[in-house]
Chains A and B, each alone.
Chain A
Amino acid sequence: MNRAGLFVPLAVFALIVGFGYAGFKLNDPHVLPSALLNKPFPDFSAPVLGAAARVVGREDLLGTPVLVNVWATWCPTCKAEHHELMRIRANTNLRIVGVNYKDDPVKALRWLRDYGDPYEFTLRDSDGSLGVELGVYGAPESFLLDASGTIVYKHVGDINPRVWQNEILPILERFEVDVNG
């Protein structure tokens, strides 16, 4: 065996380490790639939290870009995210619609009363079936829809100032949406 051949095991080892690094470090296995990205937001019909007689559907999300935020009172990360949603609501004119996911409406209404309500309206998804339509597997998750109702961005986890600045704002700029007007 020539001398170069002696390095083959080292090269194989480096390759395995490289795959391991890429597989375990670069990809967070808890964040699934969204299957619905660049697809239309699914058709649905859901009652509005706090106004049970009012039922909304996909057409109520069209016209301008809208951030659809899936949340629940049992979700601690949603509490952390709430502050940022309130800030977005106060400082921009981006529409935010809530999806109250597998939650108790009484608790949900109390949450919005105590911490503030950043949502234009909140859909009730008490059994999680709208969540299944959206490929939701936890909370919080957020979808950004363009004016025609296509999902242009999905975020698993909380929306914080960094996500807003680095991920959501650039997309809104790309669609030439001025949310600061």
Chain B
Amino acid sequence: MASQRFPRLGWIILAGACALFAANYAVAAGPVDVYEFPDPATEARYRALIAEFRCPKCLNTNLPGSDAPIAKDLRRTVHRLLVSEGLDNDEIRAYLQERYGDFVLYDPPFRPDTWILWLAPVLLVIIGLIVLIRIVRQPAPAPLSDSDSARLRAILDDE
């Protein structure tokens, strides 16, 4: 019976782990600024944009997820560029990239010095497939000769 209860415990642990993982994202909603938007569409654009940028101070948090002062300043800057200056999304990305470098972009641009970032995963999948195919295609081992089977039986009988 105990062996049957065990899988259920496993499911509970798994569900708990998933809940914790999800909670991680819920917490990441972070601080809320009060900004005025002319219409809900602009506000949606603002929310999507700030989520694209990485906070320069905090290594792996995006702008909406951080309460660092610099993240607040950059959210304010994005709001100003979007609402007061009416820039489009690409212009806002370029503005931040010109000042803070590729670091603020979670998706680095595809350039000669960054292609390995983009292509390495594909390359690894291809290498993995090649290895897998070679393993699957390996010829089955030759059956044991009579003398080898006799030796094997002798070894197993010793145990």
Contacts and interface: CB of A to CB of B under 8 A. Distances in A.
Interface of A: 29-30, 32-36, 102, 127-129, 131-138
Number of contact residues on B: which range applies? 10 to 19
B70 interface: yes
B100 interface: yes
A128 B97 contact: no
Interface string B112-148: 0000000000000000000000000000000000000
B73 A131 contact: yes
Given A29-B59, A135-B101, 13 more contacts: A32-B56, A32-B101, A32-B103, A35-B100, A35-B101, A36-B99, A128-B69, A132-B73, A132-B77, A134-B99, A135-B100, A138-B57, A138-B70
Contacts of A32: 56, 100-101, 103
B51 interface: no
Contact of A135 (B59, B69, B99): B99
B114 to A, nearest CB: 13
Contacts of B77: 129, 132
Contacts of B102: 35
A137 B57 contact: yes
